[in-house]
Structure 1
Protein backbone atom coordinates (compact mmCIF):
# COMPACT_ATOMS: atom_id res chain seq x y z
CA UNK A 1 0.00 0.00 0.00
CA UNK A 2 1.35 3.36 -0.94
CA UNK A 3 0.58 6.92 0.01
CA UNK A 4 2.43 9.52 -2.08
CA UNK A 5 5.02 6.85 -2.98
CA UNK A 6 5.59 5.93 0.68
CA UNK A 7 4.89 2.39 1.81
CA UNK A 8 2.30 2.56 4.61
CA UNK A 9 1.41 -1.12 4.87
CA UNK A 10 1.28 -4.54 3.33
CA UNK A 11 -1.10 -7.44 2.94
CA UNK A 12 -0.05 -10.99 2.04
CA UNK A 13 -2.69 -13.37 0.68
CA UNK A 14 -2.15 -16.94 -0.50
CA UNK A 15 -4.35 -19.61 -1.96
CA UNK A 16 -6.37 -20.43 -5.03
CA UNK A 17 -9.73 -19.64 -6.62
CA UNK A 18 -11.69 -21.47 -3.95
CA UNK A 19 -9.77 -20.66 -0.76
CA UNK A 20 -7.62 -17.66 0.11
CA UNK A 21 -5.70 -17.14 3.34
CA UNK A 22 -4.82 -13.67 4.59
CA UNK A 23 -1.38 -14.47 5.95
CA UNK A 24 -0.19 -11.07 7.12
CA UNK A 25 -1.57 -7.55 7.34
CA UNK A 26 0.50 -4.59 8.44
CA UNK A 27 -0.49 -0.93 8.54
CA UNK A 28 2.02 1.60 9.89
CA UNK A 29 0.89 2.95 13.26
CA UNK A 30 0.53 6.50 11.94
CA UNK A 31 -1.92 5.25 9.29
CA UNK A 32 -4.11 3.06 11.48
CA UNK A 33 -7.76 3.99 12.10
CA UNK A 34 -7.89 5.89 8.79
CA UNK A 35 -9.67 3.26 6.66
CA UNK A 36 -6.46 1.97 5.06
CA UNK A 37 -6.96 -1.64 6.15
CA UNK A 38 -10.64 -1.53 5.16
CA UNK A 39 -9.62 -0.37 1.68
CA UNK A 40 -6.91 -3.05 1.49
CA UNK A 41 -9.28 -5.88 2.43
CA UNK A 42 -11.90 -4.64 -0.04
CA UNK A 43 -9.24 -4.35 -2.76
CA UNK A 44 -7.94 -7.88 -2.17
CA UNK A 45 -11.41 -9.42 -2.04
CA UNK A 46 -12.40 -7.66 -5.26
CA UNK A 47 -9.38 -9.16 -7.04
CA UNK A 48 -10.40 -12.72 -6.13
CA UNK A 49 -14.15 -12.74 -6.92
CA UNK A 50 -14.35 -16.55 -7.24
CA UNK A 51 -13.02 -17.23 -3.74
CA UNK A 52 -15.54 -19.17 -1.65
CA UNK A 53 -13.59 -19.23 1.65
CA UNK A 54 -11.37 -16.59 3.25
CA UNK A 55 -9.31 -17.53 6.33
CA UNK A 56 -6.90 -15.78 8.69
CA UNK A 57 -5.39 -16.06 12.15
CA UNK A 58 -5.05 -13.24 14.67
CA UNK A 59 -3.75 -13.16 18.26
CA UNK A 60 -6.39 -13.70 20.95
CA UNK A 61 -5.55 -10.43 22.70
CA UNK A 62 -5.84 -8.32 19.51
CA UNK A 63 -9.36 -7.14 20.31
CA UNK A 64 -9.37 -4.43 17.64
CA UNK A 65 -8.51 -7.08 15.04
CA UNK A 66 -11.42 -9.25 16.20
CA UNK A 67 -13.85 -6.37 15.83
CA UNK A 68 -12.37 -5.40 12.46
CA UNK A 69 -12.64 -8.86 10.90
CA UNK A 70 -16.08 -9.51 12.37
CA UNK A 71 -17.20 -6.23 10.76
CA UNK A 72 -16.37 -7.85 7.41
CA UNK A 73 -18.42 -10.96 8.21
CA UNK A 74 -15.60 -13.20 9.38
CA UNK A 75 -16.47 -15.63 12.16
CA UNK A 76 -14.16 -17.12 14.77
CA UNK A 77 -14.03 -20.86 14.12
CA UNK A 78 -11.06 -22.14 16.11
CA UNK A 79 -8.48 -21.38 18.79
CA UNK A 80 -4.90 -22.59 18.42
CA UNK A 81 -2.50 -22.42 21.37
CA UNK A 82 1.03 -21.93 20.06
CA UNK A 83 2.72 -21.26 23.40
CA UNK A 84 1.59 -20.88 26.99
CA UNK A 85 0.96 -17.18 26.35
CA UNK A 86 0.07 -17.09 22.65
CA UNK A 87 -3.31 -18.23 21.41
CA UNK A 88 -4.42 -17.52 17.86
CA UNK A 89 -8.03 -17.23 16.79
CA UNK A 90 -8.88 -18.58 13.36
CA UNK A 91 -11.44 -16.58 11.43
CA UNK A 92 -13.32 -17.70 8.34
CA UNK A 93 -15.64 -16.03 5.90
CA UNK A 94 -17.65 -18.13 3.47
CA UNK A 95 -18.92 -16.53 0.29
CA UNK A 96 -22.06 -18.04 -1.21
Structure 2
Protein backbone atom coordinates (compact mmCIF):
# COMPACT_ATOMS: atom_id res chain seq x y z
CA UNK A 1 0.00 0.00 0.00
CA UNK A 2 1.08 3.55 -0.75
CA UNK A 3 -0.98 6.30 0.85
CA UNK A 4 -3.75 3.77 1.40
CA UNK A 5 -3.81 2.61 -2.24
CA UNK A 6 -2.98 -0.92 -3.34
CA UNK A 7 -0.06 -0.48 -5.74
CA UNK A 8 0.70 -4.06 -6.72
CA UNK A 9 1.10 -7.63 -5.69
CA UNK A 10 3.19 -10.77 -5.93
CA UNK A 11 2.75 -14.54 -6.16
CA UNK A 12 5.64 -16.93 -5.42
CA UNK A 13 6.34 -20.63 -5.30
CA UNK A 14 8.68 -21.28 -2.39
CA UNK A 15 10.56 -24.58 -2.46
CA UNK A 16 11.93 -25.14 1.04
CA UNK A 17 13.74 -28.32 -0.03
CA UNK A 18 15.98 -27.16 -2.89
CA UNK A 19 15.63 -23.41 -2.17
CA UNK A 20 14.99 -22.54 -5.86
CA UNK A 21 12.06 -20.19 -5.60
CA UNK A 22 9.88 -19.08 -8.48
CA UNK A 23 8.27 -15.68 -9.05
CA UNK A 24 4.93 -16.36 -10.72
CA UNK A 25 3.75 -12.75 -10.66
CA UNK A 26 5.23 -9.46 -9.49
CA UNK A 27 3.48 -6.29 -10.53
CA UNK A 28 3.35 -2.63 -9.66
CA UNK A 29 0.40 -0.59 -10.91
CA UNK A 30 1.15 1.78 -13.77
CA UNK A 31 0.54 4.88 -11.65
CA UNK A 32 3.41 3.82 -9.35
CA UNK A 33 6.02 3.11 -12.06
CA UNK A 34 9.25 5.08 -12.17
CA UNK A 35 9.35 5.81 -8.45
CA UNK A 36 11.74 3.06 -7.36
CA UNK A 37 8.93 1.16 -5.64
CA UNK A 38 9.47 -2.06 -7.62
CA UNK A 39 13.14 -2.25 -6.63
CA UNK A 40 12.24 -1.63 -2.98
CA UNK A 41 9.57 -4.32 -3.12
CA UNK A 42 12.01 -6.79 -4.69
CA UNK A 43 14.64 -6.07 -2.01
CA UNK A 44 12.00 -6.63 0.70
CA UNK A 45 11.08 -9.97 -0.90
CA UNK A 46 14.73 -11.06 -0.94
CA UNK A 47 15.06 -10.05 2.71
CA UNK A 48 11.90 -11.98 3.61
CA UNK A 49 13.26 -15.20 2.05
CA UNK A 50 16.97 -15.14 3.00
CA UNK A 51 17.34 -18.93 2.62
CA UNK A 52 16.73 -18.70 -1.15
CA UNK A 53 19.64 -19.97 -3.26
CA UNK A 54 18.15 -19.12 -6.68
CA UNK A 55 15.19 -17.01 -7.79
CA UNK A 56 13.61 -17.95 -11.12
CA UNK A 57 11.02 -16.18 -13.25
CA UNK A 58 9.73 -15.88 -16.82
CA UNK A 59 8.58 -12.85 -18.75
CA UNK A 60 7.36 -12.39 -22.33
CA UNK A 61 10.14 -11.41 -24.73
CA UNK A 62 8.35 -8.19 -25.75
CA UNK A 63 8.03 -6.80 -22.20
CA UNK A 64 11.00 -4.42 -22.39
CA UNK A 65 10.12 -2.72 -19.12
CA UNK A 66 10.16 -6.09 -17.30
CA UNK A 67 13.46 -7.08 -18.91
CA UNK A 68 15.06 -3.75 -17.93
CA UNK A 69 13.70 -4.04 -14.38
CA UNK A 70 14.89 -7.57 -13.71
CA UNK A 71 18.33 -7.14 -15.29
CA UNK A 72 19.22 -3.57 -14.36
CA UNK A 73 17.36 -3.05 -11.09
CA UNK A 74 17.29 -6.53 -9.53
CA UNK A 75 20.47 -8.14 -10.96
CA UNK A 76 18.82 -11.13 -12.65
CA UNK A 77 20.39 -12.79 -15.70
CA UNK A 78 18.65 -14.21 -18.75
CA UNK A 79 19.29 -17.95 -18.76
CA UNK A 80 16.96 -19.11 -21.50
CA UNK A 81 14.52 -18.33 -24.27
CA UNK A 82 11.63 -20.58 -25.22
CA UNK A 83 8.32 -20.78 -27.05
CA UNK A 84 5.10 -22.34 -25.83
CA UNK A 85 1.79 -22.94 -27.51
CA UNK A 86 -1.40 -21.96 -25.67
CA UNK A 87 -5.07 -22.31 -26.53
CA UNK A 88 -6.60 -18.83 -26.46
CA UNK A 89 -10.38 -18.96 -26.99
CA UNK A 90 -10.08 -22.01 -29.23
CA UNK A 91 -7.16 -20.65 -31.23
CA UNK A 92 -3.67 -22.03 -30.70
CA UNK A 93 -1.17 -19.18 -30.22
CA UNK A 94 2.57 -19.18 -29.77
CA UNK A 95 4.16 -17.14 -26.99
CA UNK A 96 7.87 -16.48 -26.50
CA UNK A 97 9.45 -16.00 -23.08
CA UNK A 98 12.78 -15.24 -21.46
CA UNK A 99 13.79 -17.22 -18.40
CA UNK A 100 15.62 -15.23 -15.72
CA UNK A 101 17.60 -16.42 -12.71
CA UNK A 102 19.24 -14.68 -9.82
CA UNK A 103 21.76 -16.70 -7.84
CA UNK A 104 21.95 -15.46 -4.26
CA UNK A 105 25.31 -15.27 -2.55
**Would you say same fold, with TM above 0.5?**
yes
Unaligned 5+ runs, structure 1:
none
* Mapping for residues 12-23 of structure 1, pairs under 5 Å: 12-17=11-16, 18-23=19-24
2:73 aligned with 1:74: no
Deviation per CA, 1:57-87: give whole Å up to 9, x if none. 0110111211211122211111121245520
Aligned residues: 95
Cα deviation for residue 23 of structure 1 reads 0.7
Q: Which has more radius of gyration?
A: 2
Contact kept? 1:58, 1:90, Cα under 8 Å = yes
Q: Give the distance between the partners of 1:63 and 1:26, measured in 2 at CA.
A: 14
Alpha-carbon RMSD across the aligned residues, in angstroms, is 1.4
| Alpha-carbon offset, residue 15 of structure 1 | 1.4
2:16 is aligned with 1:24:
no
Q: TM-score, normalised by structure 2?
A: 0.82
Alignment partner of 1:87 out of 96, 99, 102: 96
CA distance in structure 2 between the partners assigned to 1:32 and 1:85 by the alignment: 29
